[in-house]
Amino acid sequence: MSAHAENINYFKASKGFMSWLVTVDHKRIGLMYLASILLFFITGGVYAGLFRLELWGPLPGFISPDTYNHLFTMHGVIMVFLVVVPGIPGALGNFLLPLQLGAKDLAFPKLNITSLYLYWIGAVIALFSLTQGRADSGWTFYAPYSLSQNPAVLWMLVAAFILGFSSILTGLNFIVTIHKMRAPGMTWFRMPLFVWALYATGIMQVFATPVLGITLLLLLMENFFRIGIFDPALGGDPLLMQHFFWFYSHPAVYIIVVPAFGVVSELIATFSRKDIFGYKFIAFSSVAITIIGFLVWGHHMFVSGQSEVADTIFSFLTFFTAVPSAIKVFNWTTTLYQGSIKLTTPMLYALQFLFNFTIGGLTGIVLGILSVDIHLHDTYFVVSHFHYVAMGSTMIAFIGGIYYWWPKMTGRMFNETWGRLAAVLVFLGFNLTFFAQLIMGSQGSPRRYYNYLTEFQIYHQISTAGIVVLALGLFMALFNLLISLKNGAIAPQNPWGARTLEWTHAETPPVLYNFTETPVVTQGPYEYPTEKV
């Protein structure tokens, strides 16, 4: 490294394949996360595509029932543990958190690269399980089925355990960074909302993920040594496993979606060119969601034989989670009002997010109603609700975020026309796919079934057609970005006129230690000059 390496952009600061593998630079780590996550997003999508093709018709097609179980399990495990949970924090969070705070790096750069390696190890083990048989337990690993000593399931448990570790370390790193690494003048209420979202996410990663860890560990022990904690045949309690699992996996839904709230807040403020309406409400509602999110896990178990008292309490608390979510949606919408809105590609994703998340959130309330849930439990309605949140909200915001920060990350501008066209296709494809599932679920079509009644065929066909449109849009979005690496115009420092530090104070692409001079913050993240519009 030359004497002035810290003032060279982070791509050029050091060279060669190895310099990436041993890097501790949060920006490079973020990009490596991004590449890995997109790769698994495609993999998980291929699995979904295969079983949706099979579901074109009700009778056995080109896939056997066992393979079908295997395919949806792989889709679920990959998309949850390798894509949406690590997604936005791993890729965008890593790249942006120090930049938005005015710091040189995360608090623990070596721990950060360790998280990435754990992610890779977990991913390799998940893929290795394919050589050991067919994992078919679904991503939820419910006992006693997951106790049948299927080696592929066992390897999946190991993979998920390691991925959990990776997630804990990322969350820990982010929390410490936010507490201790803020630039002079960067008070808590001058932090961008994306940072607040990562903070809330970090708390859930640190406090909820270890419970998943012990659950997976106990499942492994039960498989190997028959310790008798979850297996009813040995005196164990399979419900305990469900309690443990959802104690993590409900907060995990917020680990998945809260970072998306953060991304969307940035996009809406920038492309409305307005201070975000209700900054503190949005910031605190992320924290509120975190706290309430720890108390509602039982709503996944209304039909599992939980006591009626527990059912009622969990249902009541579930309604409460709607309050902070609704606060956010109202504040974003109010921000749009009288803003000078620019319909750029990232903004199109932010608007899609608002639409999809409203559906995802409201269907969640529907499922939280005890009497209704008895009917909707384990139908396509649940599948659709979850995908409106995980895909329609999180992945959409993720893609919007990638587009928004792409110029900062790579130094290149993308083609707006193709970007917008892809965004529209994604919107249509996604809603075709999952609105059809919402309807057939409400009519009682059960999820995870290989076969179905012919009256549901039309919905399955719409859904399968939708996924083709969705895939077309996603690949178009991806290629548009990749092509820009070669042909895109050189990006200026602040192409969107945004007000946060990564745009106002860091070069494009940023230098090795982010800023040539430590920024001194004197105003909030969305304070635009007050000229009359």
Partner 1 sequence: MAEVTVPKEHEVAHHFDDLEQEFESHRLGMWLFIASEIMMFGALLVGGLLLLYKFPAAFAEGRAHLDWRLGTLNTFFLLTSGLTMALAAWHAQRSEQDKVRRNLLLSLAFATGFLIVKYFEYSAKFHHGLLPGNAFSGHGFTDPNAHVFFGFYFVATGLHVLHVLIGMGLMVWCLFVSRKVKFTRAYYTPVEQSGLYWALIDLVWIFLFPLLYLVA
Rounded to a whole number of angstroms, the minimum distance from the CB of residue 200 to partner 1 is: 14
Smallest distance, Cu ion to C-beta of residue 208, A:
12
Residue with tokens 């890729």: 91
Smaller CB separation from partner 1, 213 or 525: 213
Range in contact with Cu ion (rule: CB under 5 A) among 250-258, 394-402, 440-448, 495-503? 250-258
Which amino acid is residue 286, in one-letter code? S
Q: Do 222 and 231 touch, CB atoms closer than 8 A?
A: yes
385 binding Cu ion? (CB under 5 A)? no
* Selection from 362, 200, 218, 222 nearest residue 290 by Cα: 200
The two tokens of residue 482 are 């990749």
Binds 498, which of partner 1, Cu ion, none (CB < 5 to 8 A, cut-off by type)? none
Shortest Å distance, C-beta 31 to partner 1: 18
The candidate with the shortest Cα–Cα distance to 126, out of 86, 173, 172, is 86
Q: Nearest-CA neighbor of 501 among 178, 59, 99, 129?
A: 99
Residue 229 binding: pick among Cu ion, partner 1, none (C-beta 5-8 Å cut-off by kind): partner 1
Nearest Cα neighbor of 300 from 218, 395, 227, 367 is 367
Nearer to partner 1, 107 or 477 (CB): 107
- Output 356 or 500, the one with its CB closest to Cu ion: 356
Q: Encoding tokens for residue 385?
A: 């609700």
Q: Is 277 left (phi over 0), alpha (psi -120 to 50) or beta?
A: beta
Q: How many CB atoms sit inside 10 A of residue 199's CB? A: 24
Q: Which does 16 bind (CB under 5 to 8 A by kind): Cu ion, partner 1, none?
A: none
- Is the Cβ of residue 181 or residue 362 nearer to partner 1 in the bound state? 181
Return the number of the residue (159 or 211) whose C-beta is nearest partner 1: 211
Minimum separation from the CB atom of position 47 to partner 1 (A): 31
Q: Which is nearer to Cu ion, 190 or 250 (CB)?
A: 250
Interhelix angle 396-410/94-101, rounded to 10 degrees, is 60
Please give the helix or strand (H or E) that residue 26 lies within, else none. helix 26-54
For Cu ion, how many residues bind (rule: CB under 5 A)?
A: 1
Q: Which does 214 bind (CB under 5 to 8 A by kind): Cu ion, partner 1, none?
A: partner 1
CB contact at 8 A, 118 and 194:
no
Residue 355 interacts with, from partner 1, Cu ion, none (CB under 5-8 Å by kind): none
Residue 179 interacts with, from partner 1, Cu ion, none (CB under 5-8 Å by kind): partner 1
Give me the least distance between CB of 183 and partner 1, in Å please: 10
- The shares of helix, strand and coil residues in the chain, as percent rounded to the nearest 5, are 70, 0, 30
Backbone angles phi, psi at 220, to 5 degrees: -65, -45
CB of 240 to partner 1, least distance (A): 6
Segment interacting with Cu ion, rule: CB under 5 A, options 243-251, 254-262, 466-474, 492-500: 243-251
Q: What is the DSSP string of 330-396?
A: HHHHHHHTT------HHHHHHHHHHHHHHHHHHHHHHHHSHHHHHHHTTBHHHHHHHHHHIIIIIIH
Q: Which does 250 bind (CB under 5 to 8 A by kind): Cu ion, partner 1, none?
A: Cu ion
Residue number, 367 or 498, with CB nearest to Cu ion: 367
Q: Which is nearer to Cu ion, 43 or 356 (CB)?
A: 356
Partner interacting with residue 209 (select from Cu ion, partner 1, none; CB below 5-8 Å by kind): partner 1
Residue whose beta carbon is closest to Cu ion? 250
Q: Which does 509 bind (CB under 5 to 8 A by kind): Cu ion, partner 1, none?
A: none
Choose the binding region for Cu ion from 121-129, 242-250, 256-264, 491-499 (rule: CB under 5 A).
Answer: 242-250
Tell whether residue 499 is a contact of Cu ion (CB under 5 A). no
Concatenated DSSP letters of 124-160: HHHHHGGGG----STTTT-TTGGGS--HHHHHHHHHH
| Residue 243 interacting with Cu ion (CB under 5 A) | no
Q: Which is nearer to partner 1, 313 or 327 (by Cβ)?
A: 313
Stretch that binds Cu ion, among 79-87, 249-257, 308-316, 353-361 (CB under 5 A): 249-257
Length, in residues, of the chain: 533
The Cα–Cα gap between 501 and 383 comes to 39
Query: Is 82 in contact with 125 (CB distance < 8 Å)?
Result: no
CB 193 within 8 A of CB 525: yes
Single out the residue of 26, 27, 250, 385 in contact with Cu ion (rule: CB under 5 A).
Answer: 250
Q: Which residues contact 423 (CB under 8 A, 6 or more apart)?
A: 345, 348, 349, 352, 473, 477
The smaller minimum CB distance to partner 1, of residues 226 and 447, is found at 226
Residues that bind partner 1 (CB under 8 A): 103-109, 111, 168, 172-173, 175-177, 179-181, 206-211, 213-215, 217-218, 221, 225-229, 234-237, 240, 244, 247, 513
Q: Do the beta carbons of residue 172 and residue 268 sit within 8 Å?
A: no
Give the closest residue to 83 by CA, choosing from 300, 419, 394. 394
Q: Which stretch binds Cu ion (CB under 5 A): 84-92, 109-117, 245-253, 282-290?
A: 245-253
Question: Nearest approach, Cβ of 340 to partner 1 (angstroms)?
Answer: 38
Rounded to whole angstroms, how far apart are CA atoms 378 and 444? 9
CB of 145 to partner 1, least distance (A): 18
Alpha carbon 341 to chain centroid, angstroms: 26
Pick between residue 208 and residue 474 the one whose CB is nearest to partner 1.
208
Given a contact cutoff of 8 angstroms between Cβ atoms, the answer to whether 491 and 413 are in contact is: yes
Binds 172, which of Cu ion, partner 1, none (CB < 5 to 8 A, cut-off by type)? partner 1
Binding partner selected for residue 210 from Cu ion, partner 1, none, CB under the kind-specific 5 to 8 Å limit:
partner 1
Point out which residues bind Cu ion (CB under 5 A).
Answer: 250
